[in-house]
Chain A
Amino acid sequence: MATQSQDIDSATGSQWLDKSTQETLVRIGRHGLLLVWSFIVLFPLYWLASMSLKPPGEANALPPDWIFLPTVYNYIQLAQDGAFLAAFANSVIMVGASVVLVLLIGVPAAYVLSRWDIPMERDVLVWILSSRMLPPIAVVIPFFVIFRELNLFDTRIGMVFMYVSINLSLVVWVMKAFFDGIPETLEEAARVDGATRFQGFRKVVLPAAKPGIFSVAIISFIFAWIELLFGLVLTNFNAVPVTLFVYSFIGSRSIEWGMLAAASTAMIIPVVIFLIAVNKYLAAGLSFGVVIKE
């Protein structure tokens, strides 16, 4: 045994360090890497937030002013801007409604695909996914034509349908995998216990699937919330989403960096609120059900 472990040590070439030093070095290296990564991820957010707190004119100064007197000037401007508030409210309503609707359609569909023997099940799944196989830019013109014909152009309800079509395949695919991971004996136990099939689904399976449902809800929310292209083409005035409003700060001659940053920072807030609200379900959900105990 002794010779064996020596062999391994010499093979890794670390004989000149004792074990505890090695472990310390590994730990330092690991934390160092995490710090670098955190910096890479968080720096743009810092940049954005700090830019939103700078007075006009200083926002894009070069070299940047690292030390400045923060001001909420940009935010006050935003809060007094009716168009921004309308767009923000639009987005909250349209995206919120689309998440509810996509769950109402997608979760039962995923359950049926998971539990029933559907003819050509594989094909149905691929067909659902195919709605996301084309780049959005390729389908935006057909969407525009359809929306115009159906009088959905520049309506909130139209945008809700749009967001649902973006997220439906995600919800169905992820939730099907999630339901597949929930043992079928749960419903069978419920049925033997006196529940109908639907009661078994509602009272036993659905609560067990909560982590998955909240995960796809938050992902769907984010995808719809940050959507720009369809909003740009399919709205004009009434149903403008907040992303489009933020985009409007990029003018043809100048960019209002301070306002752009303030609006962008404000856009993050609903996502963060949503995340905090469902946080306790997320850890389980993002592992796609493997923590479900049989």
Chain B
Amino acid sequence: MASITLDDITKRFGEGGDSVVAVDDVSLEIEDGEFVIFVGPSGSGKSTLMRIVAGLETQTEGDIHIGDALVNQLGPRARDLAMVFQNYALYPNMTVEENMSFGLKMSTDLSKQEIKDQVTEAAEMMGIGNLLDNKPGELSGGQQQRVALGRAIVRDPNVFLMDEPLSNLDAKLRTTMRTEINRLQNDLDTTTLYVTHDQTEAMTMGDRLVVLNYGDLQQVGTPLECFYRPRNRFVAGFIGSPSMNFFEGDVEDASTLICDGFTYELSERMYSNVGDRAEVTIGARPEDIELHDDSIDTNGFEVVVDVVEPMGSISYVYIQPVDQSHEQTFVVEVDGQQPIAEGQRLYAHFPPEDVHLFDTKSGETIHQRKLDSDVEMLAGGQSQNASTSSSQL
């Protein structure tokens, strides 16, 4: 068990002018036993950051402590970690048992019998006790995944590192294994870093999310915090599925936002947050936008339905404002039983309490949605690097 501290970690690939910054000055404290998810699109530096923690890459600048020890100079074998790779990286010529005992043989002085006992125990835990004599090539994807996890837990390491471990599984198995990893981490209570680009995994698995983009730390916080209190437009758009809809607009007369296809009257609290900014982006999640047959207030505007995607209990409706100059659709989540046809005309309405506002130029959040007080407790709190400009209604 160990905490992990990253201090001003920067990783550049290449030399001089051609160098690419993969991780840019990231500082982070991960507590003992915490389950932390590194999430971001491809190229965000999340895998590189994990590989730096593993010792498979060396940071260009910065310090890493695991527990109290400075590990900058230590190779992966001296860091007492176990890692699960995206392609599982099972040793193809070894049986499952040999795969699982390899780490213990390499890194401990345990006797053969002790190793065998521990491997058997871990294998039972992962439900692969009957596969010990098989070679990885004879196993299904899900079984290989279990072996990879078993190989990690049998070591009883300080830290688990998991690099997109579920992305090679089919959708159904992915859901099962997600729950299983969650339970495993709860039981073992080992500090875990988990890299994913899948925002469902990000939302459901971790104690905290570390959202990265282009090597920059965007936000560190609980999943709900990142969802309800995004620090900037990137986090708002990345967390949540389908993504938040964004509408760029120009502020006129201090309280009116002119967007492409509609105007939006800012509430008093909104425009006090807007200040003297001239360009502001509205953010509204698909589940927060309301569709009505008639305009219910001045902020409603007429839209035409482009595509309907029925999901069963809900439907995603892609619509566009009637008076729009650029063809651009946005998505609204509606009840699955609500009859909506393509080409139908409706009025879209953004409830003012559910809307986020962002500075169009910097992407900073300038106005957060309103939350129920109990959710406020969950989502608020100790967000690291919480934006000072983010105001809570």
Q: Which residues of A contact B (CB under 8 A)?
A: 183, 185-186, 188-196, 199, 203-204, 207-208, 210, 292-294
Contact = CB atoms under 8 A, between A and B. Distances in A.
A195 B86 CA distance: 20
B33 to A, nearest CB: 20
Given A192-B82, A192-B83, A193-B107, A186 B91 contact: yes
B88 A294 contact: yes
A189 B91 contact: yes
A192 B193 CA distance: 15
Interface majority SS (helix, strand, loop, mixed), chain A = helix
B77 A185 contact: no
A186 B89 contact: yes
B106 A195 contact: yes
B242 interface: no
A275 to B, nearest CB: 22
B137 A188 contact: no
B75 A189 contact: no
A63 to B, nearest CB: 55
A260 to B, nearest CB: 44
Contacts of A194: 77, 103, 106-108
Interface string B209-238: 000000000000000000000000000000
Interface string B99-133: 00011001110000000000000000000000000
A287 to B, nearest CB: 14
B85 A188 contact: yes
Interface in B135-157: 136-137, 151, 155
Contacts of A203: 102
Contacts of B137: 293
B92 A188 contact: no
Given A185-B85, A185-B87, A294-B87, A192 B92 contact: no
Interface string B64-107: 00000000000111000111011111111110000000110011
A138 B93 CA distance: 44
B91 A190 contact: yes
Q: Closest 3 A-B residue pairs measured CB to CB?
A: A194-B107, A194-B106, A193-B103
A185 B85 CA distance: 7
B92 A293 contact: yes
B56 interface: yes
Given A183-B89, A194-B77, A188 B106 contact: no
Given A185-B85, A191-B56, A293-B136, A196 B91 contact: no
B54 interface: yes
A191 B76 contact: yes
B12 to A, nearest CB: 15
Given A188-B54, A188-B56, 18 more contacts: A185-B85, A188-B76, A188-B89, A189-B89, A190-B91, A191-B76, A192-B56, A192-B77, A193-B82, A193-B103, A193-B106, A194-B103, A194-B106, A194-B108, A207-B91, A210-B93, A293-B137, A294-B89
Contacts of A186: 89, 91-92
Interface of B: 54-56, 75-77, 81-83, 85-94, 102-103, 106-108, 136-137, 151, 155, 161
Contacts, number: 74
B93 A192 contact: no
27 contacts: A183-B89, A185-B85, A186-B91, A188-B89, A189-B85, A189-B90, A190-B102, A191-B75, A191-B77, A192-B56, A192-B76, A192-B77, A192-B83, A192-B103, A193-B77, A193-B103, A193-B155, A194-B107, A195-B77, A196-B77, A207-B92, A207-B94, A208-B91, A210-B93, A292-B92, A293-B136, A294-B87
B325 to A, nearest CB: 45
Contacts of A196: 77
Contacts of A208: 91-93
B54 A192 contact: yes
Contacts of A293: 92, 136-137
Nearest to A188: B56
- Please indicate which of the listed interface residues A186, A188, A192, A196 has the most CB atoms of chain B within 10 Å of its own CB: A192
A193 B87 CA distance: 16
B91 A199 contact: no
Among B56, B85, B91, B103, chain A packs the most CB atoms within 10 A around the CB of: B91
B92 A185 contact: no
Contacts of B91: 186, 189-190, 204, 207-208
Nearest to B51: A188
Which of B76, B82, B155 has the most chain A CB atoms inside 10 A of its CB?
A: B76
A208 B106 CA distance: 18
A54 B221 CA distance: 89
Contacts of B108: 194
A235 B113 CA distance: 58
